[in-house]
Structure 1
C-alpha cells in the first residue's frame, strides 16, 4: 500500500473521527495533536486565541473561517514564531519546514466537511495549498 497519493491526484481533506474503528489510512493527521495543528481553537461559535482570549462569532463556520485565516497569516509571518498553549508549543518554522511531508497527501482534521459548494474553512486546506505551492511560504 502506498504511503501517499500519486502526483496526478488532488489531495483532499478528510474528517478525522474519534471513534474506535476509524483509521486515517494513508492520510496525514494534521489536527491539534500533530505538529501541524492550529493554535487557534474553535468550539461551536467561540474562537479561542493562543493567548486564551475568546471571541464569539455568529456561526461555527465563521469561527472556523477566522481560525483558518489567522493560521494562514501566522504561517505567512504575522505574530510570534511560537505559541505555547497549555502543554503544547506550536512552532511556525517546524510547520513550514515539514510541508514537504504533506505534499500530495490527503490530510485529516476534526473539522466537519462542508456541504457541496461551501468553502472549506479548515487549517488543513491552508496546509494543502502551501504544500502544493511551496513558493507561497518560506521557513
Structure 2
C-alpha cells in the first residue's frame, strides 16, 4: 500500500482527478473556511505576502479543528468542524487534491489538505 499524498488540482483542459483521490477544495465538505483574504484583512499577514498568509490560514485551520473557537465563534462554525471531523474516515488511505501549490522537496506543506492527510491517516487504537 502506498502512502497517501497531496495532489495539486489543476484547471487545465483534460486534467482528471486521479483514482483514489478526494477533492478537498473550499466548496467541498472538507474545504478550509479560512481564506488568504481573511489573513490580510485581520492583519495576520502583510498584503502580498502569500506565504505568510498561507501559514496564518493553516494555523487557524489546525487550531480550529482541534476545538479552538477563537477564529469562528458560532454554532455554524462548530457544525462545520464536526462535519469535517466526522468525515475523516472517508479520507483514510486516499490522496487529497487541492489547488494550493505543492511544496519544494524538504519544505513544509502549507495547505489544509496536509493537515487532513495527517488526521485521517493517524494510527487507529
Using structure 1 for the length normalisation, give the TM-score.
0.74
Residue of structure 2 in register with 1:15 after alignment: 8
Between 74-83 and 117-126, the greater mean CA deviation after superposition: 74-83
In structure 2, runs of 5+ residues without a counterpart are: none
Q: Distance in 1 between matches of 2:76 and 2:62?
A: 14
Matches within 5 A, 1:13-52: 13-26=6-19, 27-42=21-36, 47-48=37-38
- What CA RMSD, in Å, does the superposition of the two structures yield over aligned residues? 2.2
Q: Which has the higher helix share?
A: 2
Structure with more relative contact order (C-alpha pairs < 8 Å, separation 6 or more): 2
Give the CA deviation at 1:53.
Answer: 4.0
After TM superposition, the runs of 4+ consecutive aligned structure 1 residues lying more than 6 A away are none
Mean Cα deviation higher: 103-112 or 60-69: 60-69
CA distance in 2 between counterparts of 1:134 and 1:69 reads 23
Q: Per the alignment, do residues 68 and 22 of structure 1 end up closer, same or farther by CA in structure 2, a change over 3 Å counting?
A: same
- Going by fraction, where is strand more abundant, 1 or 2? 1
* Structure 1 unmatched runs, 5+: 1-7, 84-89
